[in-house]
């Protein structure tokens, strides 16, 4: 496993990180705590030291699983996220900061996450949605100051809205943000146009998420694929989308002269081939996933010729926003967590 510096945070994070949405078991159906813990342990054994979670993943379940295995270990780097109070993913134009991230809400969620994670301080605390309309709001500056003054957070980041890589530049220009998390994969290469050069020039860390396009770039989505009934991928890959992504994948494999079994590592190696990316965070729910994904770091970056070939396979579309009844892919978990504790002084 190789390690990279996450921008000015100076955190040395594994090139392959562990995305913890899947082990929360809310939107991804089938997560079993015992297997999830085995996967987390296998990740540490493979050299993975960077784990990205969020308060809404399984209503804190994902955070608590990390705490159960790692506790306050200084060898493990944990990033988590604060959900918006209005529970809207993504942040919509015109929504006011006070409706999404009032200071009291942010600080309450921070205390809950610290309790869940059983850590003295969180290495990276991220806003789970973002609108650059908030970047000049005095309330946001005051909230950032409260976060830093609390001593519970070491670095602050933003998880950028799906497929909106430039909807963060005004916030980054304030100098208050240490890292960004963004969708970046073979299909969506748009962050490389403006966002990545800006981050490189300003020493802002980059975390690449959704490297497999929710499974299609791992070869796991075929025309005949059937997902569990409540799995969000039924909406993400609604209609004829499974057939479309499968054909795109077949075209790519033909150009690369590869077998489909080799695709997951190619997808991960594509992400770490960009020098701006410090870590890519695929979801991993089993030790088998860990073994396959962590090996991508051993293989290293792709050749220049392969990266250039993959440039031809960019595919700009947003299956999140255009999915029927899918304006909020975390709706179920988010609304439950909202009813459970937001606006309350209690920790779960």
Is residue 251, in this structure, part of any structural domain at all? yes
Q: What values do phi and psi take at 133, rounded to 5?
A: -65, -20
Degrees (nearest 5) of the Cα angle 202, 313, 234?
A: 95
Is residue 348, in this structure, part of any structural domain at all? no
The predicted structure's pLDDT at residue 229: 82
For residue 217, what are its two tokens?
């770039």
The predicted structure's pLDDT at residue 231: 83
The boundaries of the domain holding residue 319 are 3-340
325-334 average pLDDT score: 45
Is residue 66, in this structure, part of any structural domain at all? yes
What does the alpha-carbon distance between residue 195 and residue 222 come to, in Å, rounded to a whole number?
32
For 74-132, write each residue's pLDDT tens digit. Answer: 999 999 999 999 999 999 999 999 999 999 999 999 999 999 999 999 999 999 999 99
Degrees (nearest 5) of the Cα angle 67, 71, 72?
A: 130
Give the CA-trace dihedral at 304, 310, 312, 316, to 10 degrees.
-130
Confidence of residue 202 (pLDDT cuts 50, 70, 90): very high
* Whole-number percent of the chain with pLDDT over 90: 83
Is the pLDDT at 25 greater than 80, yes or no? no
Is the pLDDT at 41 greater than 50, yes or no? yes
* Whole-number percent of the chain with pLDDT over 70: 91
The predicted structure's pLDDT at residue 32: 85
Give the range with max mean pLDDT: 28-32, 234-238, 263-267.
263-267
Is residue 266, in this structure, part of any structural domain at all? yes
Question: Looking at per-residue confidence, does 226 or 328 come out higher?
Answer: 226
Is the pLDDT at 247 greater than 50, yes or no? yes
Residue 250 zone, left/alpha/beta (φ > 0; ψ -120 to 50; rest): alpha
Is residue 347, in this structure, part of any structural domain at all? no
Closest CA to 338 of 144, 132, 105: 105
For residue 53, what are its two tokens?
């979670």
Is the pLDDT at 62 greater than 80, yes or no? yes
The predicted structure's pLDDT at residue 327: 43
Is residue 346, in this structure, part of any structural domain at all? no
For 289-329, write each residue's pLDDT tens digit. Answer: 999 999 999 999 999 999 999 999 999 899 987 544 444 44
Q: How many residues does the chain have?
A: 348
| CB contact at 8 A, 60 and 112 | yes
DSSP string, 300-346: -SPPHHHHHHHHTT-----TTTTSTT-S-TTHHHHHHHHHHTTTSS-
| CB contact at 8 A, 52 and 181 | yes
The predicted structure's pLDDT at residue 322: 59
Degrees (nearest 5) of the Cα angle 8, 11, 15?
A: 110
The CATH number that applies at residue 146 is 3.20.20.100
State the burial class of residue 338 (Cβ atoms within 10 Å of its Cβ: 0-12, 13-18, 19+): middle
The residues near 311 (Cβ < 8 Å, ≥ 6 apart) are 189
DSSP string, 110-146: HHHHHHHHT-SSBSEEEESS--GGGTT-HHHHHHHHH
Q: How many domains, the chain?
A: 1
Spacing of C-alpha 234 from chain mean position: 20
């Amino acid at each position: 496993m190789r390690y990279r510096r996450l921008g000015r945070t100076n955190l040395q994070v594994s090139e392959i990180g562990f995305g913890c949405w899947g082990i929360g078991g809310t939107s991804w159906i089938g997560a079993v705590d015992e297997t999830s813990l085995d996967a987390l342990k296998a990740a540490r054994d493979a050299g993975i030291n960077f784990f990205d979670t969020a308060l809404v993943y399984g209503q804190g379940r994902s955070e608590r699983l990390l705490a159960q295995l790692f506790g306050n270990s200084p060898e493990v780097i944990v990033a988590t996220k604060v959900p918006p109070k209005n529970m809207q993913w993504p942040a919509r134009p015109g929504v006011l900061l006070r409706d999404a991230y009032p200071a009291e809400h942010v600080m309450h969620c921070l205390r809950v996450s610290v309790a869940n994670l059983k850590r003295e301080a969180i290495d990276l605390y991220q806003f789970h949605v973002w609108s650059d309309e908030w970047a000049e709001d005095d309330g946001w500056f005051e909230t950032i100051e409260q976060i830093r003054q609390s001593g519970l957070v070491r670095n602050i980041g933003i998880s950028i809205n799906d497929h909106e890589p430039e909807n963060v530049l005004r916030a980054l220009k304030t100098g208050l943000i240490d890292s960004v998390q963004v969708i970046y994969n073979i299909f969506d290469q748009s962050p490389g146009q403006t966002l990545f050069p800006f981050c490189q020039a300003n020493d802002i860390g980059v975390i690449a998420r959704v490297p497999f396009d929710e499974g299609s770039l791992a070869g796991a989505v075929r025309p005949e694929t059937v997902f569990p009934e409540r799995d969000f991928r039924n909406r993400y890959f609604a209609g004829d989308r499974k057939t479309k992504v499968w054909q795109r994948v077949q075209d790519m494999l033909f150009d690369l002269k590869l077998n489909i079994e080799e695709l997951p590592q190619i997808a991960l190696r594509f992400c770490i081939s960009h020098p701006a990316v410090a870590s890519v965070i695929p979801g991993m729910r089993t030790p088998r996933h860990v073994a396959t994904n962590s090996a991508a770091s051993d293989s290293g970056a792709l050749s220049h010729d392969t990266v250039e070939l993959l440039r031809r396979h960019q595919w700009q579309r947003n299956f999140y926003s255009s999915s029927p009844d899918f304006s909020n892919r975390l709706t179920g978990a988010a609304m439950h967590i909202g009813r459970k504790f937001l606006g309350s002084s209690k920790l779960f």
